[in-house]
Structure 1
Amino acid sequence: MRHRYSCIIAVVSALLLIPAAFAQDEKPVIGINSFIIPAEDLEPLKTAALAGSGRAAYRLAQYYGFAFLNFEEQLHWMTIAAENNDQTGIYGLGFLLAKKPDPVSRIRARYWLEKSRDQGVEPTASLARQLLQELDTRK
């Protein structure tokens, strides 16, 4: 039963975190034409994210994490998305941190997942509840 929930969480999380973009001057690992971010739009998107746009930061997290498999940049922009109070970014950061092996990351994962759960926005609230249960069983 627990395995089924873990699989469901992984699938839904992957759907939530589908690659949103890739620049024309880089070679993406995967590419979906409707999610292209032209190279000239990348810097304005970064500026918007740094100025408080959670959606822009989340889009950049997807861009780096899924189109280019640059997980350091993905974590950087997902953190900004969460700090900018983007609902999916909050859950996404909790998800990314929960998958790290170190205890400090899991403590921070719990913080962001509880925040996602407590905000009650679906489907991320349900996913956060399930991932929190999974974290409890890994202690």
Structure 2
Amino acid sequence: MTTTPTTGTPVLLGEFEVPGTPVPKARPRVAQDRRGRNRTHTPARTLDAEEAVRTAWAETVRRRYLDKTWRYRLELEFYGAHGSADVDNLCKLVADALNGWAWADDRQITELQAVKRAAPAAARRTRVRVFRVE
């Protein structure tokens, strides 16, 4: 998935890898509570994967970029993602996880490049590069 580049020179803000099999963003689940009311929740696997992305950002980049006027380019490489994992859902998990860390809101991403690559179990990971587009 690639978008057409916008004008301006991209400036690298952060680059890191998240170890383990890439996880696609799962849809929220609806379940009834004891009183019969519907409650929506995000699956634990999605929450854990988003936390792993945020932790990798915090440990590697060690800075938050929250300027709401900035535009961003996001480059992603998913090594060893399951064949059934949609690349757009893999991207969505990373974009949502970095809300409030790499950007104020993922709506600020104006360029996106993503690739799924085969990898043996020991080499499964997600490579993330975040650029500011000036």
TM-score by length of 1: 0.23
Who wins on radius of gyration, i.e. which is larger? Answer: 2
TM-score by length of 2: 0.24
Higher relative contact order (CA 8 A, sep 6+): 2
Q: Which structure has the highest helix share of the two? A: 1
